[in-house]
Amino acid sequence: MAKTVFFAFRDAPDRRRALEAPESLDRYRLFGLDAIAHRGAHVRHNLENDRPPPAWARAAGSVANVLANATGGLGGDFATLLPSLCTANEAEVVFATVDTVGIPLVLLKAARVVRPPLVYASIGLSERLDRLGSERTRGVLRRAFESVRTVVTYSMHEADVLRERLGSDGPPVVFVPFGVDIERFRPPADPRPTTDVVSVGADPRRDFELLAAVAARHPTVTFNVVAGADHARSLAAVPANVEVETNVSLEMVRDRLGTARVVALPVRDNAYSGATTVLLQAMAMAKPVVVSRTEGIARGYGLEDGVNCRFVPPGDVEAFELTLIETLTGADAAMDLGIRARETVERSFSWERYTDALWDLLFPAT
């Protein structure tokens, strides 16, 4: 009999587009669903219905969120999960891919509404726990997490923090490095760059304001920023040497990365993200990368300053400026940096490696 898994996704337009386009680069947003299916598992998910959640689910979700917050939990996207509960309960295992659906599933699992084992992927759970107002509140959520089989993190630092926060009675917390499709993200056929600096990102931790400050000091250096809509609005007034784009497909993002002499990824300090996805994509394309050394990527991704990337302390404009200009002007050193970056992802951070690890967590050997 085929193994069965239910993937729980946050409902978002980019994720629905990924589900509708089997050959799209955006399939990485599905956290390995395709690879798990290709290995023979029967895969279902909560976004199979292309219509919005029914009125009863939206109403029940609103009530559930009120109760979750009143009892010290954290709310989330109950509405897209509730209509799929029967499907989820038919699976051998449930995989919560992000916290916005993961926390509702934890609460439903603790209440025995969800029956299969739950594997929970954390993308910032440690910071959510830190925002809870009291020890009693944290205790409620810690007890709910005792019903989870495994917590997965994409940051070694966050794994350490969560083991402490969830306590000795909590579930195992496993660090799984994210991966990149090294066949579809390759060094460009035409290696001649047309843009000095390219920066890409939509998550709220990106520090594009820092990059704009650096750009203002170097008017002859060209910058291309591919940002989410919120960041684009905040970058309405940028120097003339900065081009800002938004609503760009991942295929176009790959093209933009391919035009860069240097990829710059300034990130505000946090426990779980160091622009990990774009970082790995740029490294796979043999691009020299200047990136903020957040705790989310300082360990676990094989990164070494001056070997396969350039590390800069988060929020340090002067250090980022110095390192970026140094990388731009040192062509031979930058090329070597890119070559070693590609070797690093080929060796340790392919998409196959990530999905192999995920398979072992979803279907552990007995």
**Interval 265-293: pLDDT, tens:** 999 988 777 789 999 999 999 999 999 99
Interatomic CA distance for residues 225 and 243, integer angstroms: 6
Domain range spanning residue 276? 195-348
Percent above pLDDT 90 for the chain: 68
Q: Please state the three-class secondary structure of 236-275 as a single string.
A: CCCCCCEEEECCCCHHHHHHHHHCEEEEEECECCCCCCCC
Higher pLDDT, 94 or 204: 94
For residue 202, which of 235, 242, 246, 251 has the smallest C-alpha distance?
246
Do 256 and 164 belong to one domain? no
- In a shared domain, residues 236 and 315: yes
pLDDT at residue number 262:
97
Residue 267 falls inside a structural domain: yes
CA separation for the pair 228, 232 (Å, rounded): 6
Full 3-state SS string of the chain: CCCEEEEECCCCHHHHHHHHCCCCHHHHHHCCHHHHHHCCCEEEECCCCCCCCCHHHHHHHHHHHHHHHHCCCCCCCHHHHHHHHHHHHCCCEEEECCHHHHHHHHHHHHCCCCCCCEEEEECCHHHHHHHCCCHHHHHHHHHHHCCCCEEEECCHHHHHHHHHHHCCCCCCEEECCCCECCCCCCCCCCCCCCEEEEEEECCCCECHHHHHHHHHHCCCCCEEEEECHHHHHHCCCCCCCEEEECCCCHHHHHHHHHCEEEEEECECCCCCCCCHHHHHHHHHCCCCEEEECCHHHHCCCCCCECCCEEEECCCCHHHHHHHHHHHHHCHHHHHHHHHHHHHHHHHHCEHHHHHHHHHHHHCCCC
> Does residue 45 lie in a domain region?
yes
- Number of Cβ within a 10 Å radius of residue 320: 25
Residue 93, pLDDT above cutoff 90:
yes
Q: How confident is the model at residue 155 (pLDDT cuts 50, 70, 90)?
A: very high
Residue 114 pLDDT greater than 90, yes or no: yes
- Tell me what pLDDT residue 366 has: 59
Residues 163, 214 within the same domain: no
172 in a structural domain: yes
Per the model's pLDDT, the better-predicted residue between 51 and 328 turns out to be 328
Section 335-357 average pLDDT: 96
Chain mean position to CA 143: 26
Q: 136 pLDDT exceeds 70?
A: yes
How many distinct structural domains can be found in the chain?
A: 2
Decide which of 188 and 281 is more confident: 281
Claim to verify: residue 151 and residue 237 sit in the same structural domain? no
By C-alpha distance, which of 267, 151, 358 is closest to 160? 151
The Cα–Cα gap between 294 and 157 comes to 10
pLDDT at 138: 76
Give the pLDDT confidence score for residue 181 in this predicted structure.
95
Q: Are residues 30 and 152 in the same domain?
A: yes
Read off the tokens for 47: 């976004």
Residue 308 scores a pLDDT above 80: yes
Q: With bands split at pLDDT 50, 70 and 90, how would you rate the model's confidence at 163?
A: very high
Task: Read off the pLDDT band of 180 (50, 70, 90).
Answer: very high
- The answer as to whether 189 is a domain residue is no
Cα Rg, the chain, nearest whole Å: 21
The verdict on 52 and 201 lying in the same domain is no
Q: Are residues 289 and 170 in the same domain?
A: no
Q: Does 223 lie in the same domain as 143?
A: no
**Interacting residues of 231 by C-beta distance below 8 A, sequence separation 6+:** 201, 202, 206, 208, 225, 246
Closest to 254 in 3D by CA, of 289, 223, 281:
281
Question: Are 224 and 324 contained in the same domain?
Answer: yes
Question: Over the stretch 220-243, which tens digit does the pLDDT of each residue have?
Answer: 999 999 998 888 787 778 899 999
The alpha carbon dihedral of 70, 71, 74, 75 has a sign of negative
pLDDT, one tens digit per residue, over 208-222 is 999 999 999 999 999
What's the pLDDT score for residue 202?
86
Tell whether 325 is covered by a domain.
Answer: yes
Q: What is the pLDDT at residue 184?
A: 94
Task: Report yes or no on 186 lying in a domain.
Answer: no
State the chain's mean pLDDT as an integer: 91
Percent of the chain with pLDDT over 70: 97
Please report how many Cα atoms fall inside a 13 Å half-sphere around the Cα of residue 231, on the Cβ side.
Answer: 24
| pLDDT over 90 at 356, yes or no | yes
Residues 132, 237 within the same domain = no
Q: What is the domain-level CATH number for residue 30?
A: 3.40.50.2000
Is residue 71 over pLDDT 60?
no
What integer is the mean pLDDT of 322-342?
Answer: 94
185 domain-assigned: no
- Which of the four pLDDT bands, split at 50, 70 and 90, describes residue 70? low
Residues 63 and 101 in one domain: yes
Q: Is the pLDDT of residue 1 over 70?
A: no
pLDDT score recorded for residue 47: 95
